[in-house]
């Protein structure tokens, strides 16, 4: 049987850590060499993705070349070939992959399509180059592409397949958002089936600032069947044996590729090698793909964990208020970092209810994290005395409400400054969208796990987490949400019900519907106008908000670039 062994190295790179990423490549390559013809790493793995303005440094680009030479030197000791994503500088800078083996750099493929939408900004850094490259090992042709290349139909993959390619290989750094994976898997299945070829898709995994990469690398058969799915939100190294004789049989029975009027042999660059070792045959593994709440929860845990560890923090702190948002963030922090690295601070005022105290205490107990209590009453009284006596303000205003939130933030950042803690913000997307959060108060922090999580999803994620082990008391799900900054306050004094608010926001932010279009969706015109007015007014707050993890199609961050000064 004629087969090709490919090792998929779905690993977690750290941006800028060329030496650390290089060492990971060396380790995996050495271990996989006796098993594989070809070891494949994701897009821009050597630098991490996205390297952004690091690519504007000549020294950084020189360090990449030195690392590639190290890989070439190592390859003298190994029999397999390596494919790795990296920036390649030759007259200009390209998003590229290198083929390395037999002691040298055998070939370079450069990305043809550079994405410049959503979170992507590749045209700022790279030049596109349309130069198809085929790697041939033991007579088996492999057509190479990088991420965006495969999203442009009826060109690269069809071009390869019509010129005898049996395996379409795509390396990728595809950021996660909820719902994207299902579409991507269906899309890639169609690519394989349309071209009667195997499709090997190697994706990055890990967190990088606001982005999370979910892994779930794939091998898809020529009839669109799923042969391999790597783990979700985890590192995974899998070796798969691909039976290319099947391609020959299928193409004898289906002559569609013969009818394509596409460029032929002279249009391509070819790299041809032999590796006649007797290698073991591997059956592929299909790991389950998490759905809905589990998927988002795991993305948040991974994003928080990698931000924490990749930036060298030793511990984290957050304010536990007795509400659902801070309770969920506390659970995320413990799941991501471990209970010994999480500190919880309860900061009651005269407006804090007995229920909130009981709920905060129960959450901390269930998470097995000590709860430190510091009342803000004396600090708040001192502030009020100053503003009454020195500034002349006697009434209780919204400024007094926000003052309480800012006192709490001051205490958290004092401990951050004193102990080196990462302050984790507990504000969610619904609040951030409409400004129902205090700038320099409860929205302040070093990282905001819920920044892209709507309030309705906060409840869903908390229910999911309780299904694993009980953390949140039932009252957190049933009591009216409240900031507890004045007597008898609830969120719905100011906002529409969260089910209404979140859907209006989703339709506007993620689906791009106009105010008129949203009103046609059976929402009251007054509510829509109010929400969108609050959204636009709060832009200056969002520009000063901490970074958070992208889990929706359009997040407040690289996805969202609205001007603060804006009369539209």
Residues 304 and 256 in one domain: no
Q: What distance lies between CA 258 and its chain's CA centroid?
A: 40
Q: Does the predicted TM-score (pTM) go above 0.85?
A: yes
Domain hosting residue 173, numbered range: 3-273
H or E segment and range at residue 226: strand 226-229
Q: Is residue 439 in a domain?
A: yes
Question: Shortest CA distance to 40 belongs to which of 11, 69, 17?
Answer: 11
Q: Is residue 536 in a domain?
A: no
Residues 66 and 200 in one domain: yes
pLDDT of 517 > 60? The answer is yes
- Domain CATH for 416: 3.40.50.620
Residues 210 and 348 in one domain: no
Confidence of residue 6 (pLDDT cuts 50, 70, 90): very high
* Rounded Cα–Cα distance for residues 244 and 5 (Å): 11
- Provide mean pLDDT across the span 111-128: 89
Please state the domain count of the chain.
2
* Rounded Cα–Cα distance for residues 48 and 66 (Å): 16
Residues 121 and 236 in one domain: yes
Note the pLDDT of residue 147: 93
Q: Is residue 515 in a domain?
A: no
Q: CB neighbours (10 Å) of residue 66?
A: 11
pLDDT of 38 > 90? The answer is yes
H or E segment and range at residue 288: none
* Rounded Cα–Cα distance for residues 296 and 292 (Å): 7
β-strands 198-203, 218-220 pairing: antiparallel
Confidence of residue 118 (pLDDT cuts 50, 70, 90): confident
Q: What is the 3-state secondary structure (H, E, C) of 440-479?
A: CCCCCCCEECCCCCCHHHHHHHHHHHHHHCCCCCCHHHHC
* Rounded Cα–Cα distance for residues 156 and 159 (Å): 5
Confidence of residue 389 (pLDDT cuts 50, 70, 90): confident
pLDDT of 8 > 90? The answer is yes
Note the pLDDT of residue 156: 79
302, burial (CB in 10 Å: exposed 0-12, middle 13-18, buried 19+): buried
Q: What is the DSSP string of 41-63?
A: --TTTTT-S--GGGGG-HHHHHH
Residues 171 and 317 in one domain: no
Among 439, 465, 493, identify where a domain stops: 493
- Torsional sign, CA 22, 42, 29, 232: positive
For the annotated catalytic residues, the residue numbers are: 43, 111, 147
Q: What is the maximum span of the chain, computed from C-alpha positions, in angstroms?
A: 91
Tokens 């309480």 sit on residue: 404
Note the pLDDT of residue 184: 95
Note the pLDDT of residue 158: 82
pLDDT digits (tens, 9 = 90+) for 426-455: 999 999 999 999 899 889 999 999 999 999
151, burial (CB in 10 Å: exposed 0-12, middle 13-18, buried 19+): middle
Long-range contacts of 504-509 (CB under 8 A, 24+ apart): 504/528, 504/531, 504/532, 505/429, 505/430, 505/433, 505/434, 505/454, 505/531, 505/535, 506/454, 506/552, 508/532, 508/535, 509/433, 509/535, 509/552, 509/554, 509/560
Residues 309 and 261 in one domain: no
Query: In which order are the strands placed within the sheet that holds 167-172?
Result: 226-229, 218-220, 198-203, 167-172, 140-146, 133-137, 269-273
Q: Is residue 311 in a domain?
A: yes
Residues 316 and 454 in one domain: yes
Residues 14 and 151 in one domain: yes
Note the pLDDT of residue 160: 87
Note the pLDDT of residue 106: 94
Q: Is residue 549 in a domain?
A: no
98, burial (CB in 10 Å: exposed 0-12, middle 13-18, buried 19+): buried
Distances in Å between the Cα of 249 and the Cα atoms of 197, 227, 243, 252, 253 are 11, 18, 11, 5, 7
Q: Is residue 222 in a domain?
A: yes
Tokens 């799900």 sit on residue: 477
- Provide mean pLDDT across the span 487-499: 78
Q: Is residue 506 in a domain?
A: no
Contact status, residue 354 vs residue 322, Cβ threshold 8 Å? no
Note the pLDDT of residue 267: 65
Query: Is the model more confident about 394 or about 318?
Result: 318
Confidence of residue 470 (pLDDT cuts 50, 70, 90): very high
- Provide mean pLDDT across the span 104-122: 90
pLDDT of 214 > 60? The answer is yes
pLDDT digits (tens, 9 = 90+) for 224-283: 999 999 999 999 999 999 998 888 888 887 777 766 666 555 567 888 888 888 899 998
Residues 138 and 16 in one domain: yes
* Rounded Cα–Cα distance for residues 555 and 32 (Å): 38
Residues 267 and 358 in one domain: no
Confidence of residue 161 (pLDDT cuts 50, 70, 90): confident
pLDDT of 130 > 90? The answer is no
Among 493, 510, 531, identify where a domain stops: 493
* Rounded Cα–Cα distance for residues 111 and 131 (Å): 8
Strand partners, 202: 171
Contact status, residue 546 vs residue 416, Cβ threshold 8 Å? no
Note the pLDDT of residue 109: 94
Residues 107 and 219 in one domain: yes
* Ranges assigned E (strand) in 393-443: 422-423
Confidence of residue 493 (pLDDT cuts 50, 70, 90): low
- Angle value at C-alpha 501, between 442 and 493, nearest 5 degrees: 65
Per-chain mean pLDDT for the chain: 91
Confidence of residue 463 (pLDDT cuts 50, 70, 90): very high
Among 239, 273, 307, identify where a domain stops: 273
pLDDT of 489 > 70? The answer is no
Residues 205 and 336 in one domain: no
- Domain CATH for 167: 3.60.110.10
Cα torsion 518, 520, 522, 527 to 10°: value is 50
Number of H helices, E strands in the chain: 17, 19
Q: Is residue 553 in a domain?
A: no
- Provide mean pLDDT across the span 541-561: 93
pLDDT over 70, % of the chain: 96
């Amino acid at each position: 049987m004629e087969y090709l062994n490919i090792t998929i190295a779905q690993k977690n790179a750290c941006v800028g850590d060329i030496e650390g990423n290089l060492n990971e490549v060396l380790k995996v390559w050495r271990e996989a060499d006796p098993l594989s013809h070809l070891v494949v790493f994701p897009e821009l793995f050597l630098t991490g993705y996205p390297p952004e303005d690091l690519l504007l440094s000549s020294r950084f680009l020189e360090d990449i070349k030195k690392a590639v030479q190290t890989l070439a030197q190592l390859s003298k000791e190994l029999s397999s070939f390596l494919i790795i994503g990296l920036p390649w500088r030759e007259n200009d800078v390209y998003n590229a992959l290198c083929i390395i083996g037999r002691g040298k750099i055998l070939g370079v493929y450069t990305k043809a399509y550079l994405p410049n939408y959503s979170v992507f900004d590749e045209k700022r850094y790279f030049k596109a180059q349309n130069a198809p490259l085929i790697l041939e090992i033991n007579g088996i042709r492999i057509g190479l592409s990088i991420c965006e290349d495969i999203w442009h139909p009826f060109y690269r993959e069809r071009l390869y397949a019509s010129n005898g390619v049996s395996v379409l290989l795509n390396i990728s750094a595809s950021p996660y958002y909820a719902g994207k994976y299902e579409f991507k898997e269906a899309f890639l299945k169609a690519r394989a089936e349309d071209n009667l070829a195997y499709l090997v898709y190697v994706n990055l995994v890990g967190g990088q600032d606001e982005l999370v990469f979910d892994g779930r690398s794939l091998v898809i058969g020529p009839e669109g069947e799923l042969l391999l799915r790597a783990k979700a939100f985890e590192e995974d190294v899998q070796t798969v044996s691909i039976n290319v004789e099947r391609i020959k049989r299928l193409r004898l029975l289906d002559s569609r590729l013969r009818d394509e009027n596409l460029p032929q042999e002279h249009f391509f660059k070819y790299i041809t090698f032999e590796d006649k070792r007797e290698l073991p045959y591997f059956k592929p593994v299909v790991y389950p793909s998490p759905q809905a709440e589990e998927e988002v929860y795991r993305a948040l845990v991974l994003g928080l964990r990698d931000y924490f560890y990749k930036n060298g923090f030793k511990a984290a702190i957050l304010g536990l208020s007795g509400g659902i948002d801070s309770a969920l963030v506390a659970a995320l922090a413990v799941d991501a970092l471990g209970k010994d690295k999480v500190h919880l601070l309860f900061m009651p005022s005269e407006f804090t209810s007995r229920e909130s105290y009981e709920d905060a205490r129960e959450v901390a107990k269930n998470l097995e994290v000590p709860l430190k209590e510091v009342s803000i009453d004396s600090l708040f009284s001192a502030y009020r005395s100053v503003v009454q006596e020195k500034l002349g303000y006697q009434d209780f205003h919204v400024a007094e409400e926000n003052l309480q939130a800012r006192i709490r933030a001051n205490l958290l950042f004092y401990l951050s400054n004193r102990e080196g803690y990462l302050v984790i913000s507990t504000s969610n997307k619904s609040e951030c969208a409409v400004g129902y959060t205090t700038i320099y108060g409860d929205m302040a922090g070093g990282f905001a796990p819920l920044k892209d999580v709507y309030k309705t999803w906060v409840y869903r994620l908390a229910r999911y987490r309780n299904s694993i082990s009980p953390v949140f008391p039932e009252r957190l799900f049933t009591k009216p949400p409240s900031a507890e900054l004045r007597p008898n306050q609830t969120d719905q004094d100011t906002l529409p019900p969260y089910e209404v608010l979140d859907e209006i926001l989703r339709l506007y932010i993620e689906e791009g519907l106009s105010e008129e279009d949203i009103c046609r969706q059976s929402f009251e015109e007054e509510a829509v106008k109010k929400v969108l007015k609050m959204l636009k007014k709060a832009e200056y707050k969002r520009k000063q908000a901490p970074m958070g993890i992208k889990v929706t199609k359009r997040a407040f961050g690289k996805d969202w670039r609205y001007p603060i000064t804006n009369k539209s």
